[in-house]
Structure 1
Amino acid sequence: MLKISDLLKELNDIAPFSDSESWDNTGLLVGNMDDNVTGIITALDCSIDTVEEAVIKKANVIISHHPLIFPNASKVVNEGAGKVIRKLIKEDINMIAMHTNLDHQSNGVSHMIAEALGFHETEILLPRTGNFKKLRVNINAEAKDEFKENLLKYSPAGTMGEYTEVSYEYEVKGQFIPGEAADPAIGKAGQKEHVDEFVIECMFDGKDQQSVIDAVMQYHPYEVPAYDILSLDKASETGLGVKFNYGDTLESLTELIRVKTGINIVNTVKGNDDIIQTAAVIGGSGMSYADDVFNSGADVLITGDVKYHEAYDAKAAGFNIIDAGHYLEVIMKQGLAELLAQKIDVPVEASTISTNPFE
C-alpha cells in the first residue's frame, strides 16, 4: 500500500518542497506519515466542503495549492481554518499543501494555465538563480574508481538536469608530510610523500552540501581528504511564471482566457496598441514582478490581484496587464491530478467544489 510518506516522495519528484519560498508552509500539514492512501482529491483551497467531498469519495488525502495553515496560526478552534482542521482530524483525512514549490516548476501552475489556453510550449519566465555548488576532491589513483562510484551512487552529487552520476576528472601530483600523531593511508609519519592523484569534480544542489561532505568523509580513504566546495551563480531549471508565443491583439487574448477557462476577466490595463507577440503568466499575485516581466521581453502579463495604483503605474509605463483574478489558479486542480495519476495507482480526482470567494 502507498503510505503518506511514499506519496510525499512522489510529490517531491513533481515539485520539490525545497523549492518553496521561505515564508511558505508546504508539505504534510495535517495527518500521519504512516497512513495508507485510499484516494486523493486535488484542490485550490481546502474548505469544509472540500473535506466533505473527500469523505463522500472515500479519499483520505486532500492536496491543496493554498496552505490551510501558516506559521502565525496560534489556535485551532471551531471557526475559520481551525474549523477545517478539526473536521480533517475528525474524518481522519490528511492534508498536504503544494504552493510555491508547484509555482516554481516548468510544468507548474503557470504552465497549466497556459496549457488550458491551448499553449503547450512554454518556457520559464523568471528563472531562479540556483544555489549550485561544485565539489572538487583529490583522490589517489589506486582508490579513484571505487571512491568515485560510491560518491556518485550514494550521495546527491553529480546530478545535472535529467543526467545523474556526472563527474569530471584530471591528473595532478599530490604532496604531504604526515605528522607524528597522524595515521596516513599512504606514507609514513615525518616523511614527505609524492602521490599520483586525480581531482574529481561534480555539481550538486547547495541544500545538499552537508550530505555531500559526509559522503566524502565516509568513502575517501585518506584520514584528512583534500577537497574544495565552490559556489556557482547559475540559472536554475525552475523559476516563476511562464511565457509563450501568441501573435494577436490584447483583446483577442482577453477573450480567449474567458472562453477557455470560463472565468470572467477582472480588469484589463491597455498600455499600448502593439500586437502581443509574447504573453507571460504568473498565477496568483504577480504584480510585484511586473518590471522584471517586461524587462524579459513580455508584451502582456496575465496574473491576479492587481491593485489600482499598480494598474495606474503599469498604464503610465506602457505595460499591458490582464487581471484574470487569483482564482485562475484553480486550473491547477486538474493539472496536478493528471501529473500525479501518471505516478501512482491510487485514485486521484480534481475537486468539483468551487472555493471562489467572489461567487
Structure 2
Amino acid sequence: MLKISDFLKKLDKIAPFSDSEHWDNTGLLVGNENDTVTGIITALDCSAGTVDEAVMQNANVIISHHPLIFPEISKVVNEGPGAVIRKLIKNDINLIAMHTNLDHQKNGVSHMIASELGYPETEILLPQKGNFKKLRVNINTENKEEFKENLLKNAPVGDMGDYTEVSYEYRVHGQFRPEDRANPTIGEAGKLEHVDEYVIECIFDGREQGAVIDAVRKYHPYEEPAYDIYSLDRKADTGLGVKFKYGDTLEALVKLIENKTGLKPVNIVKAGDGIINTVAVIGGAGMSYSEAVFHSGADVLITGDVKYHEAYDAKDRGQNIIDAGHYIEVLMTKYLAALIEEQIDVPVQPSKVSTNPFE
C-alpha cells in the first residue's frame, strides 16, 4: 500500500518540489501524509466539481496544477476556496499542488503543450543557471567499491540529465599521521602512514549539500574523511518554457493549435509575414519573459493572459504572439497522469470536469 508521504516522494522525482518558485504554494495542501492512496485525479484546478468527480472515482488524491490555497487565506468558510477545502476534508480527499515545479521541468507543462501540437522534440527555452556542485572524496582502495555503491545509491549525487549513478575516479597517493587521541581505520597513532587511494568525483544539486556530507560521513570508513566540495558554473536541465522547430506560417500554427487542442486562441499578434522557424511555448502567463524569449531566437511565443499594452508593444517590436489562453494548460492533466502511472500501480485519471471560466 502506498502512503501519501511515499507518493509525495514519487512526485518529487517527476518534478522536485524544491524547483518551485519562492512565492508558490506546492506540495500537500490538504490531507494526511499517513493516508493510503486509493486513486488519483489530475486536474488543472481543484473545484467543487473536481472533488465530486474524485468521490465518484473512489480517488482520495487530487493533483492540481494551480494551487487552491494561493495566496495565503485567513479563513476557511463555506464560500470560495474555503468551500472546496471543507468539501475535501469532509470526503477525506488529499489535495496536492504541482505548479511551478512542474513548469520548470524539461517534460513539464510547456513541453506537454508542444507534444499535443505534435512536436515532442523540444528544448528548454529559458534554462535556469544550476546550483550545481562537485564532490571530491578520497577513499582507500580496499573500501572503494563498497563506499561508491553506497554513496551513489543512497545519497543525492550522480544525476546528470537522463543518467544516474554517474561518477569519475582516479588513483592518488596520500599520507597522514594520526594524533594520539585519534582512532584511525588505517595506521597507528603517532606514525606517518602512506596509502594508495582513489578520488571519487560526482555532481550534485547544491541544495542537497547537507545530505551529501551526511552520506559521506555515514558510508566512509575513515574517522575523518578527506573530501572537497566545489561550486560549478553550468546550466541546469530545468528552466521555463520550451521551443521547437516548425517551418510554416503563423496562420498555419494557429490552425494547428485549434485542430490539436480544440481550443480557439484568444488573440493573435501578427508582426510580419515571414516563416515561423522556431516556436516558443510558455504555459500560463508568459509575457513577462517575452524579451528573453525573442532574444533566444524564437519567431513566435505561444502563451496566455496577454494584456493589451503587452500586445501593442510586442507588435511594435516585430514580435509574433499567440494568446492561446491560460486554460490551454489543461492539456497537462493526461500527460501528468501518464508520468505518474510510470511510477506507481494505482489508478490515475485525468479530470473530465471543465474549470474553464470562459465557457
TM-score normalized with structure 2 length: 0.94
One-letter amino acid of the counterpart of residue 312, structure 1: Y
**Counterpart position of 2:18:** 18
1:3 CA drift (Å): 2.7
Secondary structure, counterpart of 1:196 in structure 2: strand
**Counterpart position of 1:256:** 256
One-letter amino acid of the counterpart of residue 9, structure 2: K
CA deviations over 1:114-137 (Å, ceiling 9, x no partner): 122222222221222222111011
Q: Distance in 1 between matches of 2:115 and 2:224?
A: 53
**Within-5 A mapping of 1:326-337:** 326-337=326-337
1:148 CA drift (Å): 2.2
**Within-5 A mapping of 1:177-256:** 177-256=177-256
- Are 2:117 and 1:120 aligned? no
Q: Distance in 2 between matches of 1:56 and 1:299?
A: 45
**Counterpart position of 1:153:** 153
1:214 CA drift (Å): 0.8
CA deviations over 1:208-267 (Å, ceiling 9, x no partner): 211111111122222222211011122222221111121111122112212322222221
Secondary structure, counterpart of 1:345 in structure 2: coil
1:71 CA drift (Å): 5.4
**Counterpart position of 1:44:** 44
Q: 1:267 to 1:75 in 2, by over 3 A?
A: same
Q: Distance in 1 between matches of 2:22 and 2:256?
A: 35
**Counterpart position of 2:70:** 70
1:92 CA drift (Å): 1.2
One-letter amino acid of the counterpart of residue 6, structure 2: D
Q: Distance in 2 between matches of 1:349 and 1:204?
A: 34
One-letter amino acid of the counterpart of residue 120, structure 1: P
CA deviations over 1:148-188 (Å, ceiling 9, x no partner): 23222322222223333322222223233333433333334
Q: Which moved more, 1:185-194 or 1:261-270?
A: 185-194
Q: Distance in 2 between matches of 1:333 and 1:57?
A: 16
Q: Distance in 1 between matches of 2:290 and 2:169?
A: 44
One-letter amino acid of the counterpart of residue 60, structure 1: N
Q: Distance in 2 between matches of 1:321 and 1:98?
A: 27
**Counterpart position of 1:28:** 28
Q: 1:166 to 1:358 in 2, by over 3 A?
A: same
One-letter amino acid of the counterpart of residue 102, structure 1: L
Q: Distance in 2 between matches of 1:304 and 1:270?
A: 15
Q: Which moved more, 1:140-149 or 1:38-47?
A: 140-149
**Counterpart position of 1:294:** 294
**Counterpart position of 2:93:** 93
**Counterpart position of 2:279:** 279
Secondary structure, counterpart of 2:32 in structure 1: coil
Secondary structure, counterpart of 1:352 in structure 2: coil
1:141 CA drift (Å): 2.9
CA deviations over 1:36-88 (Å, ceiling 9, x no partner): 22222211100111112222222221111101113522221222111110110
Question: What runs of 5+ residues in structure 2 fail to find an aligned partner?
Answer: none
**Counterpart position of 1:319:** 319
**Counterpart position of 1:141:** 141
Secondary structure, counterpart of 1:170 in structure 2: strand
TM-score normalized with structure 1 length: 0.94
Q: 1:216 to 1:79 in 2, by over 3 A?
A: same
1:13 CA drift (Å): 2.5
Secondary structure, counterpart of 1:200 in structure 2: strand
Q: Which moved more, 1:20-29 or 1:161-170?
A: 161-170
Q: 1:197 to 1:56 in 2, by over 3 A?
A: closer
Q: Distance in 1 between matches of 2:146 and 2:60?
A: 46
Secondary structure, counterpart of 2:130 in structure 1: strand
What is the aligned-residue RMSD (CA, Å)?
1.9
Q: Distance in 1 between matches of 2:219 and 2:58?
A: 48
Q: 1:196 to 1:307 in 2, by over 3 A?
A: same
Q: Which moved more, 1:311-320 or 1:81-90?
A: 311-320
1:344 CA drift (Å): 3.1
Secondary structure, counterpart of 1:134 in structure 2: strand
Secondary structure, counterpart of 1:145 in structure 2: helix
Q: Distance in 1 between matches of 2:134 and 2:348?
A: 39
Question: What runs of 5+ residues in structure 1 fail to find an aligned partner?
Answer: none
**Counterpart position of 1:162:** 162
Q: Which moved more, 1:120-129 or 1:22-31?
A: 120-129
Q: What is the aligned-residue identity percentage?
A: 73
